[in-house]
Amino acid sequence: MADRTPLRPSVERLAGRLRALPQRRLQAGAAAEGLALARWLARQAQTLEFPGREPYELPDDGVFTVGDQLSVAGNEVAAALEADPAGTAEVCAAALQRVSAAAKAIG
């Protein structure tokens, strides 16, 4: 499926950066920043896909999995956004802003 939102490449760049960071940088806060973003993205995806159902919280599976968790959550919300591009512009803009802010915080 062709990307109709810039969210996927932005999330994948950040996820790749998290996967490449050394353990000390992950433990110093980068993993926590990535997990917070992944959890927000996962909540958005669930809210779009299953309105009316309380979203599940993405678990903290450790500093070495946060890049993968971010990638999965980002792709899930991107798929939901692509399914309804007209009705989700606000969510897309907020997601892009949060990805950008997390990327700056992670360095």
**pLDDT at 2 (0 to 100):** 46
The yes-or-no verdict on residue 39 having pLDDT over 90 is yes
**pLDDT at 79 (0 to 100):** 93
* % of the chain at pLDDT higher than 90: 83
Looking at every residue in the chain, the average pLDDT score rounds to 93
Beta strands in the chain (DSSP E): none
Q: Is residue 81 part of a domain?
A: yes
- 66: closest CA among 96, 104, 36? 36
Furthest-apart CA atoms within the chain: distance in Å: 42
Range of the domain at 93: 7-106
Give the pTM: 0.92
**Cβ-Cβ contacts under 8 Å for 12 (sequence gap 6 or more):** 71, 74
For 9-29, what is each residue's pLDDT tens digit?
A: 999 999 999 999 999 999 999
Q: Is residue 65 part of a domain?
A: yes
The yes-or-no verdict on residue 1 having pLDDT over 60 is no
Count: domains in the chain: 1
